[in-house]
Homo-oligomer: A and B are copies of this chain.
Amino acid sequence: MTAADRRPVPVDPETLHTSPVYAQGMLAPAGPLLFVGGQNGTDAEGNLLDGVEAQSAQAARNVLAVLEAGGTDLTHVVKLTILFVDGVDLGAAYAAVMPVWQGHRCAVSGMRVAGLGRPGALIEIEAIATVPAE
């Protein structure tokens, strides 16, 4: 890894619990940032998939697609915000996201909300990523 990679660096204070799944903080080097808007479980035609597992995996794949289109990738993700509609099985959602996410540790916030912009959507994932130097 060189400086040109502009990969963010996990920050985990000794005085806090360290998680294998997320980082307590993430340091983003100076440079351009890609903001990925809230992605839900819709396919290429804009149709919403059925159920929390299918929607969660699709939402994660959609984040990856925006990262790629923006010239960056999963290893440059600084922050994830994961919105669940209240009542969703979080275990099922995480289990569906994990294989797509390949264990990248970054700063995360998760919350249960009353609903999302799109009716029927059960999960929405937004992301912020650094972009490698050209």
A binding-site residues for B, Cβ under 8 Å? 8, 11-17, 22-39, 42-46, 62, 65-71, 78-79, 81-83, 86, 90, 106-117, 124, 126, 128, 131
What are 21 A-to-B residue pairs whose CB atoms are below 8 Å?
Answer: A8-B35, A13-B68, A15-B65, A16-B44, A16-B62, A16-B66, A17-B42, A24-B39, A28-B34, A29-B32, A30-B30, A30-B31, A33-B78, A37-B79, A83-B109, A86-B114, A109-B124, A111-B114, A112-B113, A112-B116, A113-B114
Query: Does A36 contact B25, Cβ atoms closer than 8 Å?
Result: yes
Query: Does B13 contact A66, Cβ atoms closer than 8 Å?
Result: yes
A13 to B66, CA, bound (A): 6
